Amino acid sequence: MTKQIAIVTGASRGIGRAIAMRLARDGTRVALVARSADQLANVRDAIVAEALASDKTAAPMVLACDLCDEAAVVGMVREVSRHGTPSILVHNAGYGGPLQALDQVSSAEWDRVFGVNVRAAYVMLRELLPAMARDGRGTIVNVCSTHAMIGASGSAAYCASKHALLGLTRAVAAEWGRKGIRCNAVCPGYTRTDMIGAFADDPKLLSRIPNGRVGTPEEVAEAVAFLCGSGASAINGAALTVDGGMLADLGV
């Protein structure tokens, strides 16, 4: 079978970097997408170095793209598709916005949160789904959040956008499943990334997590890789939490 092509957004660091590297280990050709070409180049070099060490050939694509710019997103998808129809899309890029009460969130900030988290997914899916359907295969994983299932004070825009992304995930699964396309979500809880920094070791936070620790980007990447693989062929429209059991414990 021809080497699969995967688009991974937000691939320059953290969870996105881990996902890109994990998929590349399976021999997938990864299209790395984020705003910073320099950071993406570092990920590309790491993938190439690992591939050479394991005798695999890999040629990741680097595509700097502002996901709030629809024309740029369309152009990115079409550039990747010049090398073959992508059979995997992992929309990992996310924007939380500032921690604010709802009445303090500006319309511009609300639109940016939804632009990155939801509208970009819609545009990519609109461009990719017909080609995936023609090939009779396609796997989509949207990286949502545990905030797709709960509310959180100060994060109204983020919560609303992640709920919307999970709804989009399930709608695509229902609408395109009979054409060989699966669409699932991975919902990470607190994960050790630059975004949460030293908060990852805060005792109050850890007391809320049954596992007693935050997750790692690599653990989220394993969940994504599983959903992209043949072992998950019967899984469609699902939301897989990777949160150390936090949502399972009401803490009362």
* Phi (first) and psi of residue 195, to 5 degrees: -65, -40
Are residues 161 and 190 in contact, defined by beta-carbon separation less than 8 angstroms? Answer: no
The span from the CA of 28 to the CA of 59, in Å, is 9
Which amino acid makes up residue 157? A
Alpha-carbon distance of 6 to 234, in angstroms, equals: 20
Task: Return the structure tokens found at 197.
Answer: 């920094």
102: DSSP letter: G
191-226 as b/e, with b when 16 or more CB fall inside 10 Å?
bbbeeeeeebeeeeeeeebeeeebbbbebbbbbbbb
Counting Cβ atoms within 10 Å, is residue 92 exposed (0-12), middle (13-18) or buried (19+)? buried
Q: What is the per-residue DSSP string for 68-96?
A: T-HHHHHHHHHHHHTTS---EEEE-----
Q: Which residues contact 203 (CB under 8 A, 6 or more apart)?
A: none
One-letter amino acid for residue 59 of the chain: A
158 among known catalytic residues: yes
The Cα–Cα gap between 225 and 228 comes to 5
Structure tokens at 110: 């609300």
d(CA 155, CA 151): 8
Q: Which residues are catalytic?
A: 158
